[in-house]
Structure 1
């Protein structure tokens, strides 16, 4: 006999609390979702998908990202091959502005509405801010797309500058739970990240603040992170899964189990029913094609297409074709003024 949602009380609770009332699950409730048995996973994903459709709609937001500065970062984020402190093959490279504009055009051609300029830095200096301003102006002259930035920790002046230049969204990930953060990063604090996030929101930019799962955190810490993100209330949460990189402290960590990744997708949707929940790095390795499809039917409503900062992604056409197969429309551009 086919199991129903009522076999697992937490899913019955989530149906009433999240789907019907739009109130996200608590940290304790999220632990229950994250520890559901495998046979409950399809029901959890189905419920998360229903929550996504009711509270976010059916369309999917597509984004491309490109790095204006790759490698040579002074921070020691243990998962990142762009740190200049580790013996990784990634070295400092600056991207020409013309190449950046070309990448923005190629991103827009996929139907994407967001283009994110990323730099591997602790925070931007005057040189980088000037280059970003020039890049924003050039892109706006030639491409009809929203521009986002991810430039590390900001000062209030830099936040105000980016907002004044028309940056639509700023990315600054929490990455992991507060209780696990010191095991992943030691060169800056969790509170410093929160300060930048608070300034971004106060300035009127949309906040993109995400997670990197599979770094050795416990199930309880995944629930903690989802609850902390829900409390921060970002517009968007990108979900990354660890792709262990050579030369980093986490190179031997191993890849997160695909079913655990899907449980996390469902849990993060049930924690944040109205948030843009975006597929980001590592999903190809962790989930593969079948799992990627299941995630789109389990709460995901946005995706980064093409390659990531230092790792290869799926071809953009693979994701776009999958959205067609799933009858999920791509969100149209709503350009900020």
Structure 2
């Protein structure tokens, strides 16, 4: 499962003279296990196209050395879709926008069935998501009962993504055996006010820190392609590295009808691949997961390149309000690339 750079590519690389950052990254990240600095991350994001294969190869080598060959597979399900009171400009679940998504609740039998279907794909993680600012008592009770029911019928790790939490809610989720909690930073602090105004960056960070302190794994991701600069992408990668989450889902904007970002252009596949390499080199030991938007931004070929360029986890099936690749397509690709699915490590 190694990448190779062709003779033509090698000739191109030696003729460009822009490779010092790759030499620095090889020494700092691959050999010493240290993530790149924010300035160095920016240099990776600004590499010319001819150097992209070498950057992806290096990122893949880092992934193999510090994360191993296996790939973690996860499925997600929304227990409450739509009607969110927040104004995240990228999200069709906001109740403040003229989006076709409407509020829908999924009952506990539906959650149990979804968990069973997810486990049947070979996934080891099942994430329950709710479009809320933070969970109320009704939602917390539903999560508690759902966890109990799921654990009776299927062996799978349970994760949650329920918005911003209080300390009591963090403690309850940890007590109920939630394996991992997702709460994304989404974008850099400097760009955040451009896409969210109903809460601030520190509110997100507070939840992330409480989750880590409670002993749950923290899943904290990025959404790129919203109009931020390369410098802001580098800022985000550095901020995530400082937070040191167990997992970082890397999402690419899929502009949704009715949202303020509906007219945003799709980022290029090459820029997406540069981001994958840069985020891996910023966080050599982190689970870096393919999230939403890759089907649109990268397609089949780019998905393959990402798995050979630093990605070591995938969400299979559909997302919350958009269609993903069929689970069988991703699983077949993992077999083709000789990438074993990570075995379940039950935390309950």
**TM-score, normalisation: structure 1:** 0.99
Moved over 6 A (4+): none
**Matches of 2:170 and 2:110, distance apart in 1:** 25
* Among 161, 167, 191, the residue aligned to 1:156: 167
Q: Distance in 2 between matches of 1:265 and 1:116?
A: 23
Gaps of 5+ in 1: none
Corresponding residue for residue 185 of structure 1: 196
Aligned equivalents of 1:126, 1:82: Cα separation in 2:
21
Aligned to 1:51: 62
SS of alignment partner, residue 254 of structure 2 = coil
Could you report, residue by residue, the CA deviation over 1:41-89 in whole angstroms, capped at 9, with x for unpaired residues?
Answer: 0000000000000000000000000000000000000000000000000
Cα distance in 2, alignment partners of residues 132 and 2 from structure 1: 52
Q: TM-score, normalised by structure 2?
A: 0.96
The corresponding residue for 1:311 is 322
The equivalent residue for 2:3 is none
The CA deviation string for residues 172-205 of structure 1, in whole angstroms up to 9 with x for no partner, is: 0000000000001000000000000000000000
Work out which of the residue numbers 121, 124, 137 in structure 1 matches 2:148.
137
> Could you tell me which of 249, 259, 265 is aligned with 2:276?
265
Cα distance between partner residues in 2 of 1:186 and 1:32: 30
Matches of 1:279 and 1:268 in 2, distance apart? 12
Q: Which residue of 2 aligns with 1:3?
A: 10
Counterpart CA distance in 1 for 2:27 and 2:185 is: 29
Give yes or no for contact 2:9–2:50 (8 Å, CA) kept in 1.
no
1:334 to partner: Cα distance: 0.6
Using the TM superposition, give the Cα deviation of residue 254 of structure 1 relative to its aligned residue in structure 2, in angstroms.
1.2
Determine the C-alpha separation between the residues in 2 that align with 1:69 and 1:155.
19
Structure 1 residue 96: Cα displacement: 1.4
Tell me by how many angstroms 1:168 deviates: 0.2
Which residue, 37, 53, 74 being the options, matches 1:63? 74
Report whether the alignment pairs 1:239 with 2:267: no
Which moved further from structure 2: 3-12 or 70-79?
3-12
Aligned length: 337
Match of 1:12 among 8, 15, 23: 23
- Provide Cα deviations, 1:191-220, integer angstroms capped at 9, x if missing partner: 000000000000000000000000000000
Pairwise CA RMSD: 0.8
Match of 1:28 in 2: 39
Question: Partners of 1:324 and 1:128 in 2: how far apart?
Answer: 38
Pairwise CA distance, 1:2: 4.0
Report the CA distance shift for 1:54/1:70 in structure 2 as closer, same or farther (over 3 A): same
User: Aligned pair 1:334/2:345, yes or no?
Assistant: yes
Cα deviation for residue 259 of structure 1 reads: 0.2
For 1:88, the equivalent position in structure 2 comes to 99
CA distance in 1, matches of 2:338, 2:9: 26
Q: Secondary structure at the match of 2:101?
A: coil
